[in-house]
C-alpha cells in the first residue's frame, strides 16, 4: 500500500503544480478558484458519495460503516485533546487558527481521491462516515475555536452541508436498495471521476496565493503541520493497534486523519474575521508536506498493525 499511496500522491502533486502554474500565469483568477471550489463541493463530491453507495447491500458494509463512525469520533476527540494541550493561547495570538488547522483534515477534497485510489469504493464508503463526523465537529468545536462561542445555528448549518446531505441520501438509497438505471449511474460516475483533478486544482490555486518563501520561515507553521501530519496520525496508529478494527476501516480512518489541513480552515477564518492569511499558509505547507508524510504514516501503520 505504501507504493500505491506514494504513486497516487505524486500524481496528485503534479496536478497541483499545474494548477499553481495556471494561477501564476493568470489563466485562472480568484473568481475561477471559487467557481471550481463550489463545483467540487456542491456537485462532484456529493456525486462521489452517492455513486459509492450504489452497491449491493451487505451486512459487513453496514457493520463497517457503524465502526467507521465510532473511529472517526475517537479520532476527532484525540485531535481536540492534542491541540488543546500542545497549542497554548499564550504562545500565539492565532492559537485558535493553529488548533483548527492542526486537527481538521482535508478528508473530502484530498481524502476521497486518495482513499479511492488505494482502497476503492469500500474505502470511500467508510470515509463518508468520517466526513459526516468532520462536519459535525468542525461546525461545533471548530466554530467555538473561531468565534469563541457555541451556537446551535452553526450546528444546524453543519448538518445541512452538501456532503452530509449527500451521505444521508446515499444511505437511504443503500438501505432501501434503490439503484439508478445504468445509463444514469454511468453519467454520475463520469462527474465523480472529476474529483481528483479538481480537488488538486483547488489545492494548487490556494498554494499559489501564498508567499511560499515567507511561509517557510515561520516555525510555528511547521509545529502545527507536525501535529497534523505526524503526531495525531501516529497516536491513531497505536490506538488502532489496541482497538482492532477491520483493515479497510482502520486504514481509511488513518489516512483521513493524516491528510493535510482542511480547506474549511481558511474559509472559516474569513467568515469569523480571523487571520485567514496565516490559515492559508498552514493549509499550503501541510498540503506540500503531506506528499512525503502520508506514505510514511502508511508504512509505519503497515509495520505496527
Sign (positive/negative) of CA torsion 220, 225, 228, 233? Answer: negative
Query: Nine-digit cell at 267?
Result: 474559509
pTM to 2 decimal places:
0.87
Region 65-81: what's the mean pLDDT?
96
Cell numbers at residue 138, please?
468542525
CA 260 to chain centre: 7
Average pLDDT rounded to a whole number, residues 264-277: 82
pLDDT range class, residue 158, cuts 50, 70, 90: low
* C-alpha closest to that of 75 among 153, 157, 134: 134
Alpha helices (H) along 209-263: 212-215, 219-226, 232-242, 247-258
Give the chain's length.
Answer: 305
Distance (Å) of CA 194 to CA 19, 45, 121, 200, 227? 15, 9, 15, 10, 31
The Cα 26–Cα 295 span in angstroms is 33
What is the pLDDT, as a whole number, of residue 223?
A: 94
**Spatial distance between the Cα atoms of 98 and 92, rounded to a whole number of angstroms:** 9
pLDDT band at residue 265 using 50, 70 and 90 as cut-offs: confident
Residue 193: its H or E element? none
Alpha helices in 139-263 (DSSP H): 141-147, 152-159, 162-176, 182-192, 195-208, 212-215, 219-226, 232-242, 247-258
Amino acid at each position: 500500500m505504501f507504493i500505491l499511496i506514494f504513486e497516487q500522491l505524486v500524481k496528485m502533486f503534479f496536478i497541483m503544480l499545474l494548477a499553481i502554474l495556471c494561477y501564476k500565469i493568470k489563466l485562472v483568477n480568484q473568481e475561477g478558484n471559487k467557481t471550481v471550489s463550489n463545483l467540487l463541493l456542491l456537485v462532484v463530491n456529493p456525486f462521489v458519495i452517492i455513486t459509492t453507495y450504489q452497491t449491493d447491500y451487505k451486512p459487513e458494509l453496514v457493520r463497517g460503516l457503524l465502526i467507521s463512525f465510532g473511529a472517526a469520533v475517537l479520532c476527532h476527540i484525540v485531535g481536540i485533546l492534542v491541540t488543546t494541550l500542545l497549542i497554548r493561547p499564550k504562545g500565539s495570538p492565532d492559537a485558535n487558527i493553529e488548533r483548527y488547522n492542526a486537527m481538521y483534515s482535508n478528508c473530502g477534497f484530498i481524502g476521497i481521491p486518495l482513499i479511492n485510489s488505494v482502497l476503492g469504493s469500500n474505502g470511500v464508503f467508510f470515509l463518508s462516515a468520517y466526513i459526516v463526523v468532520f462536519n459535525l465537529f468542525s461546525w461545533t468545536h471548530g466554530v467555538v475555536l473561531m468565534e469563541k462561542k457555541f451556537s446551535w445555528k452553526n450546528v444546524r448549518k453543519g448538518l445541512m452541508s452538501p456532503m452530509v446531505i449527500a451521505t444521508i441520501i446515499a444511505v437511504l438509497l443503500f438501505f432501501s436498495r434503490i439503484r439508478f438505471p445504468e445509463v444514469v449511474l454511468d453519467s454520475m460516475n463520469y462527474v465523480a471521476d472529476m474529483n481528483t483533478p479538481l480537488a488538486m486544482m483547488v489545492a494548487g490555486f490556494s498554494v499559489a496565493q501564498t508567499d511560499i518563501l515567507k511561509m517557510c520561515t515561520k516555525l510555528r507553521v511547521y509545529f502545527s503541520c507536525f501535529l497534523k501530519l505526524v503526531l495525531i496520525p501516529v497516536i491513531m496508529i497505536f490506538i488502532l493497534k489496541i482497538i482492532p478494527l477491520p483493515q479497510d476501516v482502520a486504514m481509511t480512518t488513518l489516512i483521513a486523519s493524516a491528510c493535510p489541513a482542511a480547506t474549511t480552515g481558511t474559509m472559516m477564518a474569513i467568515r469569523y474575521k480571523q487571520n485567514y492569511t496565516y490559515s492559508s499558509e498552514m493549509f499550503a505547507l501541510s498540503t506540500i508536506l503531506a506528499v512525503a508524510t502520508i506514505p510514511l504514516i502508511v508504512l509505519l501503520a503497515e509495520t505496527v498493525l
